[in-house]
Amino acid sequence: MIRNSWKNRFAVLSLGLFAFPVSAMAADKLTGDIKGSDGAPHGTVEITEAPKGVILRIAATGLTPGWHGVHFHEKGDCTPPSFKSAGGHIHPHGVTKPVHGLLNADANDSGDLPNLYVATDGSVTVELYSPLVSVSGTGGRPALLDADGSSLVIHAKPDDYQTQPIGGAGDRVACAVLAK
């Protein structure tokens, strides 16, 4: 009888799991292929919605060794070689004069991210967290997946987290359009 009871509980639990839609169990995700200024592939980025921000996973090769600024940009367009088509950094709706810098007390630039360190072989594999954006605009944070999309841009130099408008990070050397 006890054995039968466990079988019944397992059957009910199994049926309950299948009753939930698959999309309700999966996190909101965006992905992108990182391309260099020559259009060559350099890796991938995956962004997963978290309760109070997003988690980024970046895996790239063929980059210049050292520190590089990386930011979320406002348009889902990575036209090489300069990637200017990606627009400026993402910032909250209604902000007419964005202020850049993770170390700036007045910052309102939601595209700000920590720098990446690229190894001497030109590769980087990193996981970062940003509480400044969301995949689809939850929690009042700007959406990465809006009408004109967004992109992730890697810059030639490190971001000093203060200098306007991009922290002195220099040219855009790699870019990924973010999409579902």
List pLDDT tens digits, range 16-41.
Answer: 444 444 444 456 999 999 999 999 99
List pLDDT tens digits, range 72-116.
Answer: 999 999 999 999 999 999 988 888 888 999 999 998 899 999 999
**Within-domain flag for 120:** yes
Counting residues of the chain whose pLDDT is more than 70, the rounded percentage is: 85
The reported pLDDT for the residue numbered 25 is 41
**Within-domain flag for 5:** no
Q: How many domains does the chain have?
A: 1
How far apart CA 24 and CA 1 sit, in angstroms, is: 35
The reported pLDDT for the residue numbered 26 is 53
Could you tell me which residues are beta bridge partners of residue 68?
116
The reported pLDDT for the residue numbered 33 is 98
Buried b (16+ CB within 10 A) or exposed e, 161-173: beeeebbbbeebb
**Within-domain flag for 16:** no
Closest residue by Cα to residue 111 from 139, 81, 144: 144
**Within-domain flag for 3:** no
The reported pLDDT for the residue numbered 15 is 41
How far apart CA 48 and CA 134 sit, in angstroms, is: 9
**Within-domain flag for 6:** no
- Mean pLDDT value of segment 150-160: 97
**56 CB-near residues (< 8 Å, 6+ apart):** 45, 46, 47, 113, 126, 127, 128, 129, 130, 152
List pLDDT tens digits, range 59-80.
Answer: 999 999 999 999 999 999 999 9
Question: Looking at residue 141, which CATH number applies to its domain?
Answer: 2.60.40.200
Give pTM, 2 decimals: 0.84
The reported pLDDT for the residue numbered 94 is 80
